[in-house]
Amino acid sequence: METSVLQKLRYAYRPKLPASLSHSIAGIGVEYGGPTESLSDQEALRGLFKHTYGMPIVTFTRGTNGGIGQKLNVGVILSGGQAPGGHNVIAGLFDGLKKGNPESALYGFLGGPAGLVGNKPVEITAALLDGYRNTGGFDMIGSGRTKIETPEQFAASLETVKKLGLSAVVIIGGDDSNTNAALLAEYFLEQGSPAKVIGCPKTIDGDLKNGPVEISFGFDTAVKVYSELIGNIERDANSAKKYWHFIKLMGRSASHIALECALQTRPNICLVSEEVEARKLSLKQIVDGLCDSIAGRAANKENFGVVLIPEGLVEFIPEMKTLIGELNDIMAANEAEFAEMERESFREIVAWLARKLSGPSESLFLSLPEEIAKQLLADRDPHGNVQFSRIETEKLLIGMVENELKAREAAGTYRGKFSALGHFFGYEGRCAFPSNFDADYCYSLGFGAFVLIASGLTGYLSCVRTLGAPAERWIAGGVPLTMMRNMEHRHGSQKPVIRKALVDLEGAPFKAFAKNRDAWALTTSYRYPGAIQYFGPPEIADIVTETLKLEHR
């Protein structure tokens, strides 16, 4: 595989570390805070995590640590969807291990958690790792979405640990993956195993955060990639002056990506799912709001614009959520009959379903564009439920806006030209070269994971705080995984999970957006961020997201 000039230059980049991790390896101490509590359901979680509940937050300081120099064998897993910077977490972990003791070894499990369960390791050497430093993707060892949840999987994981003589396992993943990390840490202790389990916070969605965990890695790079693309489209729209661009952005549940991109690029409209749910906005109200902006800009002879849409929007619209729930129930209860109906025309299928829906859901279903209705029925997961990420929300809104504008034109309340184009930005941002921020942050997380292991800690998430400051002023340490958990009803029973952090409508980032959006809706206020910069002064190359800036004011 040929290497680009940028890739060669990124290999040579030396990530910055917090001051507590950048001095002599033997001079890293650990400071312990007081006992911690889970977000809620304290009694239930205390009972489930008898060995790891209530542990203190730890902070790395200057000091001494007798465990730093011990020989360690550590396994590492990349779990879930890709996020820029994953290779640098592994690089930080590797370098920490080798600085502590050159005889220490690092093994990567191929294909994610399944590689631990199935004992599929590869030793990560300097020669292997040097071809992946500061680069995007998870291709060095691959990833996977297997969950370690059955007794057999837990037992197989422990057997792998024993066979390889592992001192610890580091799981690099999102909320579900780190839920697994907490369960695995507890299981090892129950079984009398000395092996530690440490997590690292990964997801471009930005929804793995709380208190000490300020952001998950990959978010910074992904939103910069998307914002560059959005800015390019805004400039094109302002040049051609004839298209409305409806852009759906990745973010399965939370709207952090859409909100950050709005703060960076200042589109005419950005929908925020959490606000839609809080205000109980109907699909018609959303469409009316879009049409008001389109009509207002048309009155100013600006028949163009940009709309940002979070991927999970449909799930947050109360009436759509009700409709989808009814469809799931109807199709589950009438599976055989529906299978027979699939031979009929789509119009007959719609009529059959409509008779079984409640009045409001029937009206809504019949109002949807045909291709969206087909997606609601066809694109379903193995359990028969709608796969929200596959619903082309941008096309749904374009179709409904077109119909509403025609009605307004017939009523004499709208005069303009509306041509729309739909886009989905998702996979474009997941494997990009990490920004300097993510390269530094991820390296610090990996190095911190090593210090946690060397300090004899388990059931922790590697953590770096004060991320709005320069890297040397970052505060590194660890947060107990039980501290981030609550109980949720999943698959018919209560499960201990890490709560997703949704957009805070009282938080500074949303308030900054809300303050400006009315002006942006009518006035062309676009900002063009341009490409990620890797070289130059810190205010260009090391710039942080608007979200972090606002949260650290």
Q: How far apart are CA 352 and CA 329, in angstroms?
A: 14
pLDDT tens sequence across 8-28:
999 999 999 999 999 889 999
Q: Specify whether 449 is located in the same domain as 347.
A: no
Residues 81 and 185 in one domain: yes
Do 151 and 208 reside in the same domain of the chain?
Answer: yes
Which of the residues are catalytic? Answer: 205
285 falls within a domain? yes
CATH of the domain at 48: 3.40.50.450
Which pLDDT value is given to residue 332?
Answer: 81
Q: Does 13 reside within a domain?
A: no
Whether 437 shows a pLDDT value over 60: the answer reads yes
Residue 326 has pLDDT above 70, yes or no: yes
Global pTM reads 0.94
Beta strands in 269-324 (DSSP E): 269-270, 305-310
Domain assignment of residue 39, yes or no: yes
Whether pLDDT at 70 is above 70:
yes
Domain boundary among 391, 416, 442: 391
- Residues 346, 236 share a domain: no
User: Rounded to whole angstroms, how far apart are CA atoms 167 and 198?
Assistant: 11
pLDDT in tens, 171-225: 999 999 999 999 999 999 999 999 999 999 999 999 999 889 999 999 999 999 9
Q: Is residue 439 included in any domain, yes or no?
A: yes
177 and 241, same domain (yes or no): no
User: Residues 126, 206: one domain?
Assistant: yes
Same domain, residue pair 28 and 142: yes
In a domain, 5, yes or no: no
Give CA separation, 44 vs 39, 53, 173, 177, 498, in Å: 12, 11, 25, 21, 14
Query: Are 285 and 324 found together in one domain?
Result: no
Residue 9 counted as domain residue: no
Domain co-membership, 374 together with 442: no
Query: Which residue, of 391, 410, 445, is where some domain finishes?
Result: 391
Burial of 490 (C-beta count, 10 Å sphere; 0-12/13-18/19+): exposed
356 within domain boundaries: yes
Q: How confident is the model at residue 1 (pLDDT cuts 50, 70, 90)?
A: low
Closest CA to 59 of 38, 97, 29, 17: 29
Residues 38, 101 within the same domain? yes
Among residues of the chain, what percentage have pLDDT more than 70? 97
- HSE (side-chain half, CA atoms, 13 Å) at 23: 11
pLDDT at 383: 53
Least confident span in 59-68, 298-307, 435-444: 59-68
CATH number of the domain where residue 525 is located: 3.40.50.460
Residues 34, 69 within the same domain: yes
The residue range of the domain holding 335 is 312-391
Domain total in the chain: 3
344 pLDDT tier (thresholds 50, 70, 90): confident
Q: Facing residues of 489 across strands?
A: 494
Q: State whether 105 and 163 are in the same domain.
A: yes
Residue with more model confidence, 160 or 382: 160
- Least confident residue range of 213-227, 371-385, 410-424: 371-385
Mean pLDDT of 359-384: 80
